[in-house]
Amino acid sequence: MKNVTSRLRPEGYQAPSRIGYRYLDDRIMLDRDGAYTLVSVPTRSWELMSPLDKRAALAQMYATLSGLPRGAAHHTRLITTEFPFNADLWAERLDERTQRHGIPAKGWPLLLADVRERINAADWPIKRVYLVVRLGDRASYDGAWGRVQRLLDQVRKPLDLDDEMPSPAEVAVWHDAADDVRDTLRGSPLRCRPVGRQEAEMLLLHLTHPGLPAPDPSAVAPQRYGPGELQALCGGEVTREPLGRIGKYQYKCLRHETVTGTSYQLWFALSVGPDEVNFPGTLWLNGTEALPFPVVQSVGFEVQELSDTRKDADRALRNIEEQFFNDEEAGVATDLTYHQKKEMVTQMKFLVDQHRTPFLRMRALFGVSATDKELLRDRARDLVRAMRESGYTMDAPPTHQKFFFYESLPGGRTRDSDYIRRVPLDYLAAGMPHISPSVGDGEGLYQGYTIGPGGQPAEPVFLDHMLYATASQLAPTEGVPGDPGGGKTVSRGLKPVWEDALRGITQIVWDPKGDYLVLKKYAEELGLNPDKVLCINIYDAEPGVLDPAAQAENPEEAAQLMRETLLRLIPDLLAGQNGSDFGDVVRQAVGAAVAEGNGTTYLMRVVEILEAWEKLPPSPTNINQERCRQFSGSPGRRFREVSGTRLGQLVFGRATRPFRIPVGYTVIFCTLGLQMPDPGKTPESMSERELLSDVIAGLMADNTWNIMATLDPAIPKAITWDEWHTSKDNPRARTLVDRIKRLGRSRNTFLRLISQSAADFDSSFVTGVWAFGTTSKEEAAKTCAFLGVEPDDDNTGVVLGLGSGEKGVCVVKDRTGKLARVKVEFIYDFVLDIFDTNPEKDPDKMARIIAEIFGDEAAAARQRIDRPKDDDAVSLEKAGTGGGPPDDDPVPTAALFERG
């Protein structure tokens, strides 16, 4: 096979002699002496974590490091750096998934291109943490006989020693070892992710081109690196130059001459620091987070075997005792150094013998770079000062600058003992280098950015709920709590629904107030096809659209749904003295209608059966017939009266045809004209209109699931339920949520619930949370509980602060449990203006849109929602819908029953 030459080797590159990489693929990296594998550690936020959670995080880090291979042959390097995020690959992958899912809208390519440009222009520094684990010495992979064979081969080919490629047999051995280490770290509490060849290339380029844009990798990745290519990948000339005085010391720095330019770099080593760290107060590897420039941190360490540590401690203790006796014989008093050394060695022996605490030998390096010497000197001064304020001292010996640079790279080994510390394992674990304000999956749509120290943008947030089921094997459900007016409907309702519509994802939106109708009104401006945005006002829908029998898949399910619908319409009869008799008669009538209907029955047939039973002659000998005659009249008359109303026709009418949603369409169901009951209101206290509206909401939940269930499970689908607090008490709505909980993954169906209180959600199945602000301390505590954090003063203060600032700021919890404050960002200002439904800016905006789409009657219902608050309007606003037309005023249920 002809060798594939990488395009990463520019002309004129001079490979540094100390970079001896020989081979690189998706699993291993080989240099002249050892084999390595790379994994990345996902970052996590420190915000909203209680002290107990922080200690648990330390325990996770400690457990992961304890599971690493031990001994000098398994040297591990912990590298922390920052990459400028490049959105090109992200956009390519997202577009590939979008094209695979369906036919995106015409505005999708333009949005994707503009988002990519915005992200690249922002130049976000993304924090990356890597573990480079040494798998072992290459000389030992096949034993002593293998060493002899390779020695003979080297004697035969003396001129090809430096360019020798590993044999397939050796590669296979190291692949097996790498898979074992990667599987262990992937299953560890840190959930480490394997690093492939392309990302390893980028890491090498980034580290060997400090402060410079790295050369662009080849568009076509080589199958295998040829002789010398890895040296060329990291090529460039490295020399030492005087930097000048910083404080009282003269410094020398490294000058990097590469094809992308010239830069300067200075390396520091941690020399003095506390021997003990107080966790979680000390995060010494995060001491550079507040600096306005990147700092590369490279910590090389090896976890020692307990037996080796014990031997070293015994040897050190003997030396100390020998020093004591020598001083005593010479008549010299022991100084403080003796007591300090003895105390440290005794403590080490105690930890090893009694607690089996692993110790490690480590050297921590910190590198800063710049394209200008003066700037580098300023940055070095700031770094030294920041670390000194944290209680740490760092040195930058001029003679070690090249050593430190080569050592800091993946696979770099320590060549001397300077600045090496032997510390307990928790010393390194307490560094927690992966702490960073980041959430999301890194692959979905751009939603905004996390908020870092000082309120500055930290990292971009990408989220795709469609990956919940496919990538995480979870039933995808999202809860969005927050006070009215905080921006939750705009930021986490309209924005993702619009983006999913652009991607061609099939959607159903439950929209009580009509806020989502702007997607239809401004479809052309938003890049959507107006014909693929269907708007249906339930109040004006066709008779029978919610026929419960038509929504069932079989006669048994039809009977159950019909019984539930009818029984919910007669709550006072069921609560009375003869409630069991009324309920039994209705159940028998439903059973009779289903039995004779051959699958084509509907509710009016049940009403006819009840009316016929009321006219039966008395039969003292047939107890069941007599009971049906006595207890069928009241429910039959009530059902007949309800069926004659406008809303009743939706339920009691016969469905002419089942409603089906075409693939890639967005259907918006509005309830303008309905009057949803206040949350927690009992059926007995509801008015006729509230009771029927509640039944309609439940049937709509069933209808929503049935519409989605008829589609191919492979098709991604999304359901958005706004004003969830108005329906959470409805049993059929709860059934919808339960179905998503059980079948959302297999059906590839995502559910988003938007409500005013975090208590409206069941946190046991929610896979994502977008918590917006509140002004209530009690509600803030509920939000903390929903997020899974301690509702202490600090955390509730964060939630309360969300409501006092600008709109669109929230706390996000992604499917992995990471938390961070996020500012939702709109790429286009005009889209935000379109979505803004604040009545204070334009009181008649939504009324005009609703009147154009649904008519004046629906617009009047919306105006009743937006009117200034009074005693009646407050109730309507909490319900999320307006009252009915003037000629259909609500009548108390009890009065209706009396009239019947």
List pLDDT tens digits, range 20-67. Answer: 788 888 999 998 888 999 999 988 887 788 778 788 888 888 888 888
Interatomic CA distance for residues 86 and 874, integer angstroms: 48
> Is residue 512 helix, strand or coil?
coil
Q: Would you say residue 116 has pLDDT above 90?
A: yes
| Between 662 and 890, the higher pLDDT residue | 662
| Angle value at C-alpha 869, between 867 and 873, nearest 5 degrees | 80
| Residues 290, 597: Cα–Cα separation, whole Å | 73
Other Cβ atoms within 10 Å of 96 Cβ, number: 10
Question: Across 355-408, where does the E strand assignment appear?
Answer: 359-370, 393-395
Q: Tell me if the bond preceding 791 is cis, omega within 30° of 0.
A: no
Higher per-residue pLDDT: 338 or 729: 729
For residue 246, the one-letter residue type is I
Q: pLDDT per residue over 487-499, tens digit each? A: 899 999 999 999 9
- Tens of pLDDT, residues 332-343: 666 666 766 677
Lowest mean pLDDT of 337-351, 566-580, 628-642, 840-854, name the range: 337-351
Q: Is 465 or 140 the better-scoring residue by pLDDT?
A: 465
The pLDDT value recorded for residue 887 is 39
155 confidence band (pLDDT: 50, 70, 90) = low
In a 3-state reduction of DSSP, which class is residue 231?
A: helix
List strands edge to edge, sheet with 445-451. 457-463, 445-451, 819-824, 809-813, 768-771, 477-481, 749-755, 717-721, 506-511, 666-670, 533-537
Q: From the CA atom positions of the chain, what is the Rg in Å?
A: 35
- pLDDT above 90: percentage of residues in the chain: 30
Q: What separation in angstroms does the CA of 788 have from each of 245, 273, 772? A: 51, 35, 15
Q: Which residues contact 145 (CB under 8 A, 6 or more apart)?
A: none
Distance CA 761, CA 755 (A): 9
- pLDDT band of 156, cuts 50, 70, 90: low
Span 201-225, average pLDDT? 71
Partnered with residue 194 across adjacent β-strands are 39
Query: Is residue 256 predicted with pLDDT exceeding 50?
Result: yes
Question: Could you report the per-residue pLDDT of 77-93, keeping only the tens digit for each?
Answer: 999 998 888 888 889 98
What mean pLDDT is predicted for residues 5-16? Answer: 43
Indicate whether 231 pLDDT > 80. Answer: no
Q: Give the per-residue pLDDT at 124.
A: 79
pLDDT digits (tens, 9 = 90+) for 510-545: 998 899 999 999 999 999 999 999 998 888 888 888
pLDDT of 553 strictly over 80:
no
The model's pLDDT over 170-181, given as tens digits with 9 standing for 90+, comes to: 899 999 999 999
Q: What is the pLDDT of residue 9?
A: 43
pLDDT of 15 above 60: no
The pLDDT, as a whole number, for residue 1 is 33
The answer on pLDDT for 448 being more than 90 is yes
Q: Which residues pair with 127 in a beta bridge?
A: 82
- Please state which of the ranges 139-143, 591-595, 637-641 shows the lowest mean pLDDT: 139-143
> 473 pLDDT band (50/70/90 cuts)?
low
pLDDT score, position 213? 77
pLDDT tens by residue, 366-417: 999 999 999 999 999 999 998 888 888 899 999 899 999 999 999 888 878 8
Better-scored residue on pLDDT, 454 or 668:
668
